[in-house]
Structure 1
Amino acid sequence: MARILALDFGTKRTGIAVTDELQIIASGLTTVNTKELLSFLKDYLSKEQVELFLIGEPKQMDNTESESEKYIKPFIEKLQKEFPKIPIQRVDERFTSKMAVQTMIDSGLKKKQRQNKALVDEISATLILQSYLYSK
């Protein structure tokens, strides 16, 4: 089996999480400057097999698209052109940032550590991936 890779896409940073090869465990991988995301993915996919991209889908409370969707859609088009054989699936990402901060609090991280937005993005990507795995 190949891995599943989840992205919490942001205009500045993108959190990345990945499963193990058996697709049982979701783990945070890293946070990457969004401008460098495609080159990071090219490098990662040269070393690891990925069978699915999960991309967070930010929605408003009334289920309409979030403002950030206008940045995500062009990225998805580039991703499809770059990796045409890997399917892309969207996952509702409402509340993942809040849940990520709560996870950090629950794990005992100090306030200064919880202000690390890159870590919040990575944990958010992990939560997106976990929610997908639970739904399978």
Structure 2
Amino acid sequence: MGKILAIDYGEKRIGLAVTDDMKMIAFGLTTVATSEIFDYLSDYILKEKVETIVVGEPKQMDNTASESELHIAPFLVKLAEKFPSVPIKRHDERFTSKMAFQTMIDSGLKKKHRKNKALIDEISATIILQDFLKTL
């Protein structure tokens, strides 16, 4: 059995989350600089059995693609080229950043720690993945 890896793509940073082997729970993995993501993923996928990659799909309220999709499309092409044996799925990521920030507040993180954008990206990836797991 393999894990599902989720990606919350950003131009500067990419939040990552992963499931347990039974694909029941999503865990925050880390945040990686966008420029270093393919090195990180190559190492990670070599060490861990990744069955599927889920990439957040930013949409507008009217269900049309967000402007961010212009940056994600080339990333998706390269991702598919680098890891041709791993299926790539998309999942709606609307409101995940707001939900991540609220999660930080609810968990009692101090204001200083809530400014950590890398943590927000990691939590967002976890929310995307947990929501994706509900569709399985």
Same fold by TM (over 0.5)? Answer: yes
Separation in 1, partners of 2:63, 2:23: 29
Note the C-alpha offset of 1:135: 1.9
The one-letter code matched in structure 2 to 1:98 is: K
The one-letter code matched in structure 2 to 1:68 is: S
Partner of residue 55, structure 1: 55
Structure-2-length-normalised TM-score:
0.99
Alpha-carbon displacement from aligned partner over 1:28-52 (angstroms, at most 9, x marks no partner): 0000000000110000011000010
The one-letter code matched in structure 2 to 1:42 is: S
1:77 matched to 2:72? The reply is no
The number of residue pairs the alignment matches comes to 136
1:51-130, aligned counterparts within 5 Å? 51-130=51-130
Separation in 2, partners of 1:45, 1:54: 14
- Structure 1 residue runs of 4+, over 4 Å off? none
> What RMSD over aligned residues (CA atoms) do the two structures have, in Å?
0.5
% identical equivalent positions: 64
SS of residue paired to 1:135 = coil
Separation in 2, partners of 1:5, 1:76: 14
The one-letter code matched in structure 2 to 1:122 is: E
Structure 1 unaligned regions, length at least 5 = none
Partner of residue 45, structure 2: 45
Structure-1-length-normalised TM-score:
0.99
Structure 2 unaligned regions, length at least 5 = none
Note the C-alpha offset of 1:62: 1.0
Partner of residue 28, structure 2: 28
